[in-house]
Amino acid sequence: MPAELRVSVSDSTVAAHPPGSLALARWCASHGWPVHPLAPGRKTPAASCSACRRPGHDHRTCQCRGKGRWCHGFYAATLDMNRIQQWWGPRPQMGVAVACGPANLVVLDLDMHPTPPPERNRLLPGISIADDIDVSAMTTGFHTMAVLAALRGQPSPADDTTTLRVRTPSGGLHIWYRASDGRRWQSSAGSGKNRALAWQVDVRAEGGYIIAPGTQTDAGIYTPLGTVRGPAPLPAWLAQELQRTHHLPAAHVPAPRPVPGRARQAVAAARQGGDPIVTILSRVLAEVADCANTPEGAGFSEKLNRAAYTVGGLAAAGHLDEHHARTALLETACHARPGQEHRAEAIIRSGMTAGARRPLHPGSRS
pLDDT of residue 366: 39
CA-to-CA distance for 245 and 55, rounded, in angstroms?
A: 33
CA-to-CA distance for 203 and 194, rounded, in angstroms?
A: 13
CA-to-CA distance for 57 and 67, rounded, in angstroms?
A: 17
Residue 259 DSSP label: P
CA-to-CA distance for 297 and 75, rounded, in angstroms?
A: 21
CA-to-CA distance for 128 and 135, rounded, in angstroms?
A: 12
Amino acid at 290: D
CA-to-CA distance for 309 and 304, rounded, in angstroms?
A: 9
The stretch 194-217 carries a mean pLDDT of 93
Q: Which SS3 state, helix, strand or coil, does residue 13 take?
A: helix
Give the least confident one: 29-38, 113-122, 241-250: 113-122
The stretch 186-208 carries a mean pLDDT of 86
What's the chain's length in residues? 366
CA-to-CA distance for 88 and 82, rounded, in angstroms?
A: 10
pLDDT at 88 over 90: yes
Q: What are the two backbone dihedrals, phi and then psi, of residue 216, each rounded to the nearest 5 degrees?
A: -110, 130
Q: Kindly report the pTM of this predicted structure.
A: 0.66
35 in Cβ contact with 212 (< 8 Å): yes
7-30 residue pLDDT tens: 333 333 333 345 699 999 999 999
The number of C-alpha atoms within 13 Å of 342 and in the hemisphere containing its C-beta is 7
CA-to-CA distance for 325 and 348, rounded, in angstroms?
A: 10
Q: Which SS3 state, helix, strand or coil, does residue 120 take?
A: helix
293-352 residue pLDDT tens: 665 566 788 888 888 988 888 888 888 788 878 888 888 888 888 778 888 888 999 989
Q: Which SS3 state, helix, strand or coil, does residue 219 take?
A: coil
pLDDT of residue 364: 44
Amino acid at 278: V
The 3-state secondary structure of 259-285 reads CCHHHHHHHHHHECCCHHHHHHHHHHH
306-321 residue pLDDT tens: 889 888 888 888 887 8
Q: Which SS3 state, helix, strand or coil, does residue 138 take?
A: coil
CA-to-CA distance for 131 and 133, rounded, in angstroms?
A: 6
Q: What are the two backbone dihedrals, phi and then psi, of residue 330, each rounded to the nearest 5 degrees?
A: -70, -40
The 3-state secondary structure of 90-113 reads CCCCCEEEEEHHHHCEEEEEECCC
The residue ranges of every structural domain in the chain are: 3-244, 261-356
